[in-house]
Amino acid sequence: MKYIGIVFSFFLFSGGGCSYVVTRDEVTDLKSRVGRMSEMVKQRRLEEKQLGEAVGKARRELVRIMEARDRYQTSQADFIRKVRSDLALLRTRLASLERTLAGLKGTVDGGLKREADETAAVLKARARELVDLENSLSALVAFSMKHKPEGLLRIIKALADAKEWTLLHGYLGTFALKHKGHALLAEAISYAVGKLAAGQELAKVIIYSGLYLRQFPTGSHHGEMLVQMAEVYHKLLNCTKALQYYNDFLRSHASDPKVSAVRLVVKTITSQRHSRQYCAK
C-alpha cells in the first residue's frame, strides 16, 4: 500500500465523510522540525546563561572600580581636611596677634608688627595653595577617569620639565594604578627619573627606579634604572647598596656602552673597602 498512516473519518448527517492521512514523509518532516526547535531552545538558553555571566562579571568589575575610586577620593578628602585644619590654626594665630596689637594700641614695636604682617602674608599664601591644591585634585580625579595612557605620558613629561614634583607624584601614581605594566608607563617613569636625578631629588629617584625595576624587569630602560639606583646610593654614602646595583647592571647588561665606566667605579669603590674613605654603611 502506497500510503501508511492513520485515517480519521468524520461522517456528516448526510452520511458523507472525510479522511486525513499522515504520510511517513510528513512524520519525518515533523520530527525534524521538532528537533530543530529543540536545538534552537537549547542554544537560546545557553546564550542567556552566557549573557547573564557576562553581566555579572561586568557588575563585579564596576563595583571594584567604584570602590577604588571611593578609597582614592577619601584619602584626598582627608588630606584636604588636614590642610584646612592647618589653615584654621594660622587664622587663629593671626587673630590673636591682631588682638594683641589692638590691646597695645600705639606701643607695639616694629618687630611685632612685622611678625603680624609676615603671618598675614603666610596665611594668604597658604589660602592660595589650598585653592590651587583643591583645583589640582579635582582636575586630577577628572583627568584620571577619562584620559588614556598617551595623555598621561604627555602631562607627566610636562610636569617633570617644570619640576612640579608633587603633581608629578600624583599623576604617576594614577598612571601606575590604572595602567599597570603599560609600555608608556615605563617610558613615563624613565623620563621622570632622569629629571628627578638632574634635580637632585634622590629619594624620589629611588622610589621610581624601584617601581620600574619591579614592574618592568625586562624593560628597555632596565639598565638605566639600575645605574640610577647605584649612583644615588653612592651619593648617599651607601656603597653596599651601590655595589649591589652596579654588579646587577654588569651581570645583566654586559653589552651596554656604560659597562666600562661602571667597572671603573666598582673597582674604585672596592679598592677603598679597607680605608677610611670607603663609604659603605
Average pLDDT (115-125) is: 75
Which residue type sits at 236? L
- Establish if 27 belongs to a structural domain: yes
- Establish if 267 belongs to a structural domain: no
* pLDDT tens digits, one per residue of 191-234: 999 999 998 999 999 999 999 999 898 889 999 999 999 999 98
CB atoms within 10 A of CB 243: 19
What pLDDT score was predicted for residue 109? 59
What pLDDT score was predicted for residue 117? 78
Q: With a cut of 70, say whether residue 13 has pLDDT above it.
A: no
% of residues, the chain, pLDDT over 90:
20
- The three cell numbers locating residue 25: 514523509
What pLDDT score was predicted for residue 205? 92
* pLDDT tens digits, one per residue of 61-88: 888 888 888 888 888 888 888 888 888 8
Average pLDDT (115-127) is: 75
Q: With a cut of 60, say whether residue 143 has pLDDT above it.
A: no
pTM (2 d.p.)? 0.47
Q: With a cut of 50, say whether residue 236 has pLDDT above it.
A: yes
Q: How far is it, in rounded angstroms, from Cα 122 to Cα 133?
A: 16
- Establish if 49 belongs to a structural domain: yes
- Establish if 53 belongs to a structural domain: yes
- Establish if 23 belongs to a structural domain: yes
- The number of folded domains in the chain is 1
CB atoms within 10 A of CB 134: 14
Q: How far is it, in rounded angstroms, from Cα 14 to Cα 12?
A: 5
Total count of residues recorded for the chain: 281
Q: How far is it, in rounded angstroms, from Cα 250 to Cα 259?
A: 6
- Establish if 33 belongs to a structural domain: yes
